[in-house]
């Protein structure tokens, strides 16, 4: 615990000013906040179907547990409280909001008839946001496939049918919202829904449609996702060029911080490969995975199992990433080559098990991403890729089981975001990393997919009492205070947009001002650099933290 405190002090030391030119706000997803699962013509999604068919919530924690009280069919009740929630965001003076459209509100039967009331809801939301000076960011797919697509043909495992129906859905979204929404996100975190919904699952966290299939099903689902992304981005560019919609695919990437110079190359491969099995094909000049991936095996990804693409599929995918959308939650030290000892970087013991919350890592990971993808994206400036932090947040388990006063005075989440904003400030102001948007996960306490046993909101929602009343937590006020001077124009332009599919150059990574950086850059080069011997940003952070820790010992 003492060590955790040191990490925090080091990470927050630089909080002094805000960032003048960044859009900021909150992120959410339809299933997690809306409720109203069968209202106004909405069809059931695979998640609704899961709970309607007697699957129960996972993770019971004993007395006073909120799991029994939380209602999966109401969640945070955002569908009925949309105006109140936008007003809340406006009261924080936030300038960006990421939401997802529930596909089954638009196409209750998967295909065929469009449900106008579904269109109307999101249309009202977008207008409400724009009137409040908040830039909408629209996620097209945040895991809630219409159950009808699953019943009719097995959804993501039937590539042709899935892409056909997703394309019709995309077309309707563009026609209705394209003139008002500039930033689009196609598929949120494919590794999660492909792995837990279709691949083999060995724990209680099996997700709908609950296939529990073969490893190859997971990879086919991933490949279908990449191709579908390519198809719908091409559709937007060819059919609606007047709208200038910009696209990305949000991926969760954990940052591996090298402990010593010898660890830099492998640490960077561990970090970048989590993105490259999806972004790699979309950002590349030839539409294929970077060659180095074939031999990489990290976390969820085994490169030898990646299915190959046809020439037509590659042509559809290449050049379809306009910016990097990064969901940042975790970092960890990597000492696998040097074997040198590394400190543990977590803020608090009771946090969500998968989250290794080290906020200071946001500086290093954004720098690594900007430099690695910079040479590949048409919209890059000076060799650096524009980045939206499409999610960043802190999950608390003790808060979910505690009194509301504990939630409101959410000290751990406040500390997390203090570290994040400090790191972000160094990234943007000092390193000149082009992070143009920052979205905290999440505005509201909501339904964490299969459980209510953890809270992620910066605003408390009374789920236990059932009133769904909103109460602002201190972390929201602190975040708003940090960004108070960040006046981002509503028509925020991506830096240096060039025509889509322009020739990709392979400019060398620029030199950082301040932090010394090495990028293994496997994405840009096709194989990991063998000449990495300078110090990565995370390494300098590591040195700072280690020094601080050492000082405490004397
Ligand atoms: C990422 C997912 O996109 C989101 O739905 C989830 O709630 C957060 N991580 C927190 O686990």
Closest listed residue to residue 413, CA positions, set 455, 449, 372, 385: 455
Residues in the chain: 554
CA pair distance 177, 272, nearest whole angstrom = 33
Q: What is the per-residue pLDDT across 425-454, written as a single tens digit (0 to 9) for each?
A: 999 999 999 999 999 999 999 999 999 989
How far from each other are the two terminal CA atoms of the chain, in whole angstroms? 18
Q: Give whole-number Cα distances, 87 to 132, 180, 201, 272, in Å.
A: 8, 19, 41, 38
* Residue nearest atom 5 of ligand 1, based on CA coordinates: 29
User: How many contiguous H segments (helices) and E segments (strands) does the chain have?
Assistant: 20, 15
Q: Given this model, what pLDDT does residue 517 score?
A: 37
* Residue nearest atom 7 of ligand 1, based on CA coordinates: 448
Instruction: Give the pLDDT mean for 116-127.
Output: 98
- Window from 169-173, 197-201, 375-379, 539-543 with minimum mean pLDDT: 539-543
- Window from 140-144, 151-155, 507-511 with minimum mean pLDDT: 507-511
Q: Given this model, what pLDDT does residue 122 score?
A: 99
Ligand 1 midpoint to CA 366 (Å)? 19
Is any ligand 1 atom within 6 A of the Cβ of residue 144?
no
Residues linked to residue 273 through DSSP beta bridges, in sequence order: none
Ligand 1 midpoint to CA 357 (Å)? 14
Which residues make Cβ contacts (< 8 Å) with residue 181, sequence separation at least 6? 126, 136, 137, 138, 245
| Superfamily of chain region 26-483 | Glycosidases (3.20.20.80)
Give kind and range of the element (H or E) at residue 377: none
Q: What is the per-residue pLDDT across 327-352, written as a single tens digit (0 to 9) for each?
A: 999 999 999 999 999 987 777 878 89
Looking only at the bridges linking them, the beta strands covering 470-472 and 459-461 are antiparallel
Domain range summary for the chain, segments of one domain joined by +? 26-483
CA pair distance 16, 286, nearest whole angstrom = 44
Give kind and range of the element (H or E) at residue 472: strand 470-472
Q: Give whole-number Cα distances, 415 to 22, 183, 359, in Å.
A: 21, 29, 9
Question: Contact, 23 vs 435, CB < 8 A?
Answer: no
Dihedral sign for Cα atoms in the order 257, 260, 264, 267: negative
pTM: 0.88
Q: What is the per-residue pLDDT across 255-283, written as a single tens digit (0 to 9) for each?
A: 999 999 999 999 999 999 999 999 999 99
Q: Given this model, what pLDDT does residue 488 score?
A: 58
Q: pLDDT-derived band of residue 158, with 50, 70 and 90 as boundaries?
A: very high
Is any ligand 1 atom within 6 A of the Cβ of residue 486?
no
Q: Is residue 74's pLDDT more than 50?
A: yes
Q: pLDDT-derived band of residue 13, with 50, 70 and 90 as boundaries?
A: very low
Q: Given this model, what pLDDT does residue 346 score?
A: 72
Burial of residue 239 (number of CB atoms within 10 Å: 0-12, 13-18, 19+): middle
Closest listed residue to residue 182, CA positions, set 6, 436, 422: 436
């Amino acid at each position: 615990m003492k060590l955790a405190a040191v990490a925090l002090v080091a990470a927050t030391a630089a909080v002094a000013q805000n960032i003048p030119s960044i859009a900021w706000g909150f992120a959410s997803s339809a299933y997690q906040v809306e409720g109203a699962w069968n209202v106004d013509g909405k069809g059931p999604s695979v998640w609704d179907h899961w709970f309607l068919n007697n699957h129960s919530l996972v993770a019971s924690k004993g007395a006073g547990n909120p799991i029994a009280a939380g209602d999966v069919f109401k969640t945070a009740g955002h569908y009925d409280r949309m105006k109140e929630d936008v007003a809340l965001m406006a009261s924080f003076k936030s300038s960006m909001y990421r939401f997802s459209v529930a596909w089954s509100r638009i196409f209750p039967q998967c295909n065929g008839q469009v449900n106008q009331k579904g269109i109307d809801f999101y249309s009202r939301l977008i207008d409400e946001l724009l009137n409040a000076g908040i830039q909408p960011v629209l996620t097209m797919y945040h895991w809630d496939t219409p159950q009808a697509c699953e019943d009719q043909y097995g959804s993501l495992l039937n590539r042709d049918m899935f892409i056909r129906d997703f394309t019709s859905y995309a077309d309707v979204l563009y026609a209705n919202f394209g003139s008002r929404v500039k930033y689009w996100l196609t598929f949120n975190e494919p590794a999660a829904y492909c792995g837990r919904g279709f691949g083999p699952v060995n724990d209680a966290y099996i997700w709908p449609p609950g296939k529990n299939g073969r490893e190859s099903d997971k990879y086919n689902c991933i490949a279908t996702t990449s191709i579908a992304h390519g198809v719908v981005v091409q559709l937007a560019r060819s059919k609606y060029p007047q709208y200038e919609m910009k696209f990305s695919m949000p991926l969760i990437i954990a940052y591996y911080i090298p402990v010593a110079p010898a660890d830099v190359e492998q640490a960077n491969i561990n970090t970048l490969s989590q993105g490259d099995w999806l972004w790699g094909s979309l950002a590349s000049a030839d539409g294929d995975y970077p060659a180095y991936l074939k031999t990489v095996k990290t976390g969820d990804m085994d490169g030898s199992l990646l299915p190959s693409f046809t020439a037509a599929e590659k042509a559809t995918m290449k050049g379809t990433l306009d910016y990097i959308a990064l969901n940042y939650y975790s970092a960890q030290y990597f000492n696998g080559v040097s074997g040198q000892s590394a400190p543990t970087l977590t803020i608090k013991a009771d946090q969500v098990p998968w989250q290794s919350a080290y906020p200071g890592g946001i500086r290093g990971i954004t720098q690594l991403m900007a430099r690695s993808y910079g040479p590949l994206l048409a919209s890059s400036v000076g060799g650096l890729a524009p980045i939206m932090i499409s999610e960043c947040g802190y999950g608390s388990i003790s808060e979910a089981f505690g009194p509301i006063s504990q939630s409101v005075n959410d000290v751990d989440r406040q500390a997390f975001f203090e570290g994040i904003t400090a790191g972000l400030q160094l990234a943007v102001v000092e390193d000149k990393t082009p992070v143009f948007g920052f979205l905290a996960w999440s505005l509201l306490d909501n339904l964490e997919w299969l459980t209510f046993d953890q809270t992620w909101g910066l605003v408390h929602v009374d789920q236990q009492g059932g009133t769904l009343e909103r109460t602002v937590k201190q972390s929201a006020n602190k975040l708003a205070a940090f960004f108070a001077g960040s006046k981002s124009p509503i028509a925020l332009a991506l830096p240096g947009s060039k025509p889509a599919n322009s020739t990709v150059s392979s400019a060398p990574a620029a030199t950082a001002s301040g932090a010394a950086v090495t990028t293994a850059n496997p994405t840009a080069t096709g194989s990991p650099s063998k000449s990495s011997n300078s110090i990565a940003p995370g390494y300098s952070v590591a040195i700072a933290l280690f020094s601080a820790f050492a000082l405490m010992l004397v």
